[in-house]
Amino acid sequence: MACLIVGANSFGSSSDKILNTLIFNLQCTKNDWEFRLNSLMDRIVKIDPDVISFQELCSSDSVDMVEYLRKGLLQRKYPLKSITKKFTHPAWDKYREYIGIFSKHQFEKTVKGFLPKSPLQRSFVGALINGTWYVNTHLEHRADYAPYRYTQIKFLIDKFKDKNHVIMGDFNSEPSSREQKPFKENKYAMGFPGPTRPSDRPEKAIDGFWISKELRSNLRGFKAVRMFMSKVGGIYLSDHLGVYLFNDKARSSR
């Protein structure tokens, strides 16, 4: 696994309530998507995350990335039990774009919906597992859309207020940005281990985790690390790097 994990930051303070979670923006169907997804799935079964949070899952009459991943992971013996997805917006006038959560645990509940209105409609999807909500999102993308991202972040914070939860995904802004300030004001723990885009020369830390204050005491031994930093077969697995939040202490004690 060491070759897959690069760069880490540790959290600070037993961890039955948080699961090892991988997030990854898949870049829809660009750049030989079937090769990329097969290479990704080979790596996922080695990493063995409990929860996988995807952005830019695309579908059309001829493509269904959700089903492709479902079949591929099961064929590789990953013990997939639950999937939930939510439509976001049309992509390139050809695809329907989704975000999704895959897990080897049964979901106790799910929730999904659209975020507050913005130029390119965005959404969220959440799955309750072992008493914690895992919430996946993909916020507005343009630099001048910061006010929309701020509203979307406030919406998610209010939606899951007073619940154990992790908000994760592609925030399209860095954790130091003004629009992400509400997370800090509400005492979230941060899991952004470094720049994640573009994958060939990462400059912006836009993919990561915000962990609610109710879970801060459960974070001892956890790290957030960047994933998939090397090319496979001459191409990157996406234009983003993945980020993995995992209990390094539990792994090293096995």
Full pLDDT tens readout for the chain, 254 residues: 333 333 456 665 444 589 999 999 999 999 999 999 999 999 999 999 999 999 999 999 999 999 999 999 999 999 999 999 999 999 888 999 999 999 999 999 999 999 999 999 999 999 999 999 999 999 999 999 999 999 999 999 999 999 999 999 999 999 999 999 999 999 999 999 999 999 999 999 999 999 999 999 999 999 999 999 999 999 999 999 999 999 987 665 44
- Domain assignment of residue 156, yes or no: yes
* Run of H or E residues at 248: helix 248-252
* Run of H or E residues at 112: strand 109-114
- Domain assignment of residue 1, yes or no: no
- Domain assignment of residue 6, yes or no: no
- Domain assignment of residue 217, yes or no: yes
pLDDT at 93: 83
- Domain assignment of residue 253, yes or no: no
Residue for token digits 């997939």?
A: 80
Give the domain extent around 65: 19-248
- Domain assignment of residue 85, yes or no: yes
- Domain assignment of residue 228, yes or no: yes
pLDDT at 3: 31
Q: Is this prediction's pTM over 0.85?
A: yes
Q: How far apart are CA 138 and CA 42, in angstroms?
A: 25
- Domain assignment of residue 207, yes or no: yes
- CATH code at 178? 3.60.10.10
User: Per the structure, how many domains does the chain have?
Assistant: 1
Output the six-digit token pair for 172: 């399209």
